[in-house]
Structure 1
Amino acid sequence: MQEHDTSWVRTEMALSQQAPAGVRGLGAWIRKNLIASTGDTILTIVGIVLVAMILPQIINWAFINAQWTGTDRTFCATVAQGGIQPDGWSGACWAFVNAKFGQFMFGRYPIDERWRPILVAVLFVVLLVPLLIPRVPRKGLNAILFFLVLPIVAFILLTGGVFGLLHVETPLWGGLLVTLSLSFVGIAVSLPIGIVLALGRRSKMPIVKTLCVVFIETVRGIPLITVLFMASVMLPLFLPAGVTFDKLLRALIGVSLFAAAYMAEVVRGGLQAIPKGQYEGADSLGLGYWQKMGLIVLPQALKLVIPGIVNTFIGMFKDTSLVYIIGMFDLLGVVKLHFSDANWATPQTARSGLVFAAFVFWLFCFGMSRYSMFTERRLDTSYKR
């Protein structure tokens, strides 16, 4: 029997080596992302010039010449050097935001009772953070507490009227409290309803499919303002005499159904992207319709459309500002309402308030976007070469 020479076979793993100096470090990143080509270099130079022109003015307005404390408009009309700036461009009036901060957060919610929305916010964060961290165990119990128990506790705490709590009518709610309430309920309700509508639109039962198509196309064909007007003004006209619904509840229903119609189309796109073999494989295993959808198809479809789902959530979060037209004051509505305060009537008051509201909206939207990207990377099972 012929013997083979195996002296060339490696018996130990090769030691890891660092990447060449030319492909790592800050210099390599700059060459790859900023000056990789002539066009990239030109765009980089233009971007640096624009930042150099704009950034100093922003820093000067927002920080250096800004007025951080004060009790009325005179503080915001005075620059740091002591002179008066008639056009109001001296700096941001953060004193206005500081003075009105409580109303920006809670609206006209009674000051002595504001511990209740603060407690709800603490419970919301305490239950949400473990739900978002993959390594934290007992996700099922956490989801039950967050989606089922928390809404009940929040409703009792915020409205009161029981357990010795003072009843606070929803017209007194406002600011970020209304924005987050509408957004949370809209997100929690629109996703499951959107999934059901998407499945119904792909159903082989004519009546179910027709109803879902009519609902989706009707809602998507009209603006949210119309839906809110219908929920706030027209709906009471169709109710029996003496029967009415809370205005906040009507807004919640309108926003949720509107978002559900868009969510249905996002989910339907994910369902259509699933290869036919997945459906056939599930059928070959003898799985029923709901088993096939719940165990095989929907998990894959929802993973594919995470960006679209989060995009719908972000759009809905920003669209909550439209409730201002039906007499409800969310964060932006409360900020705009206080522009008419004569004690703070300066050009910088409006600019500072709008910048503050924009920053709060951006903060929440950016957080949702970043977590969406994290979820996509975690669920990505494709092989990267």
Structure 2
Amino acid sequence: MAREIAYVRQDMLQAKPSPTNEHSVGAWIRKNLLATPKDVVLTLLALALLVYMLPGLINWLFIQASWTGADRSVCATLVQGGIQPNGWSGACWAFVNNRFALFIFGSYPVDERWRVMLVMALFVVLLVPLLIPSAPRKGLNAILLFIAFPIISFFLLLGGYFGLQHVETSRWGGLTVTLILSFVGIAVSLPFGVFLALGRRSTMPLIKTLSITLIEVVRGVPLITVLFMASVMLPLFLPVGWTIDNFLRALVGLSIFASAYMAEVIRGGLQAIPKGQYEGADSLGLTYWQKIWLIIIPQALKLVIPGIVNTFIGLFKDTSLVSIIGMFDLLGIIQQNFADPSWASPVTPVTGLIFAGVVYWIFCFGMSRYSAFVERRLDTGHKR
């Protein structure tokens, strides 16, 4: 009978320190700002630069700023003692406050602006549940947002139906135009970009040639050229007596331009899919479109989420170029008001541009953060 060997520890191990909380603020600072001597030096230099610049910026933006007023007299004043480097008062937020409604609605009639606010409220109500993963009925939500919402918005904003006053698109402006152009461009560019990417990889010569031609031609010219062609050249090809609304031309031009860039982003995702995925789908007896929509496209979109969102952000900022065809988005209408004699002052343009920059940053940063959230949820494997 084999002898049993037993071992009983006589001395206990020394107690070890508790594990460091890697998610605390201190751990984040040590990891990202103080990890190496080089990081320490760069962090100290950055802090020194902030200490040097922040007091002056805070003083100009908030302390010495003019917040209320009816004209330029509250902004075009010299500071006693030359507190500011240029001798002038701080930011002219009174200009932004006085023209805020104009920056949001443009020249839309004051008594009809409730229609714009209703459209914005509907957009938020339909968009938020679509962005929340746990919200139910995503299919119905998507149909309402991308099909029903544009139709309802068209009748509400344009009017002329159901007793609503007709408001020409030439009177639209400000943030309203920016949001409409970007929403339509985003909603159209993604599906059209998918079809163009599939067409470019098609084995049918005609479809492949047409897709490549459209993508390369549109990507080879600036957006200003596309908008100019849509606004000036397109009517020349229409029958006599036919016309297309200027706002619709901008929507078409912007959507085509974004679709061409989106197609190349999607094509990168399609090329990253292993060949075994195609072969596995074929072995299951799936048709071409079943294979594409159920197997390939979900994986491709998952791989190129950063590129898709980057295209969306670029599109949102590129809406400012519609001023070339006589339309005024947020940035355009702010710049237009710089010429108003009642608000002409040395600090008015800078203040207006800062306001526009903050608005653009809020929307772009929001898209960027949601993109990071989607990447983490889908576990794409990207290092963050």
| TM-score, reference length from structure 1 | 0.92
Q: Which is worse superposed, 311-320 or 72-81?
A: 72-81
Distance change in 2, residues 1:25/1:228 (3 Å): closer
CA distance in 2, matches of 1:4, 1:159: 91
Q: For 1:188-207, what aligned pairs fall within 5 Å after superposition?
A: 188-207=187-206
Distance change in 2, residues 1:74/1:285 (3 Å): same
**CA positional deviation for 1:200:** 0.4
CA distance in 2, matches of 1:322, 1:107: 16
Q: In structure 1, what residue type is equivalent to 2:350?
A: R
Tell me the equivalent position of 1:110: 109
Q: In structure 2, what residue type is equivalent to 1:295?
A: L
**CA positional deviation for 1:34:** 1.2
Unaligned residue ranges in structure 2 (runs of 5+): 9-15
Distance change in 2, residues 1:291/1:123 (3 Å): same
Distance change in 2, residues 1:133/1:25 (3 Å): closer
**CA positional deviation for 1:53:** 1.2
Q: For 1:266-285, what aligned pairs fall within 5 Å after superposition?
A: 266-285=265-284
2:197 aligned counterpart, secondary structure: helix
CA distance in 2, matches of 1:214, 1:33: 46
Identical counterparts, % of pairs = 68
CA distance in 2, matches of 1:7, 1:141: 66
Distance change in 2, residues 1:321/1:309 (3 Å): same
**CA positional deviation for 1:77:** 2.2
Q: In structure 2, what residue type is equivalent to 1:266?
A: V
Tell me the equivalent position of 1:13: none
Tell me the equivalent position of 2:60: 61
**CA positional deviation for 1:30:** 2.4
Tell me the equivalent position of 2:297: 298
Tell me the equivalent position of 2:239: 240
**CA positional deviation for 1:32:** 1.8
CA distance in 2, matches of 1:185, 1:355: 26
Tell me the equivalent position of 1:167: 166
Q: In structure 2, what residue type is equivalent to 1:246?
A: D
**CA positional deviation for 1:21:** 4.5
Tell me the equivalent position of 1:139: 138
- Give the conservation status (yes or no) of the 8 Å contact 1:88–1:348: no
- Give the conservation status (yes or no) of the 8 Å contact 1:229–1:326: yes
**CA positional deviation for 1:55:** 1.2
Q: For 1:304-343, what aligned pairs fall within 5 Å after superposition?
A: 304-343=303-342
Q: In structure 2, what residue type is equivalent to 1:230?
A: M
| TM-score, reference length from structure 2 | 0.93
Q: In structure 2, what residue type is equivalent to 1:64?
A: I
Deviation per CA, 1:299-352, whole angstroms, max 9, x where unpaired? 000000000000000000000000011100000000000001100000111111
- Give the conservation status (yes or no) of the 8 Å contact 1:65–1:79: no
1:347 aligned counterpart, secondary structure: coil
**CA positional deviation for 1:110:** 0.3
Question: Do residues 363 (structure 1) and 362 (structure 2) align?
Answer: yes
Q: In structure 2, what residue type is equivalent to 1:181?
A: I
CA distance in 1, matches of 2:273, 2:3: 53
CA distance in 1, matches of 2:381, 2:107: 51
- Give the conservation status (yes or no) of the 8 Å contact 1:231–1:250: yes
- Give the conservation status (yes or no) of the 8 Å contact 1:79–1:91: no
CA distance in 1, matches of 2:206, 2:46: 56
The runs of at least 4 consecutive aligned structure 1 residues that moved more than 2 Å come to 1-8, 17-31, 77-89, 381-384
Aligned pairs, number = 376
**CA positional deviation for 1:284:** 0.7
- Give the conservation status (yes or no) of the 8 Å contact 1:186–1:256: yes
Unaligned residue ranges in structure 1 (runs of 5+): 9-16
Distance change in 2, residues 1:24/1:262 (3 Å): closer
Distance change in 2, residues 1:70/1:300 (3 Å): same
Tell me the equivalent position of 1:128: 127
**CA positional deviation for 1:27:** 3.6
2:221 aligned counterpart, secondary structure: coil
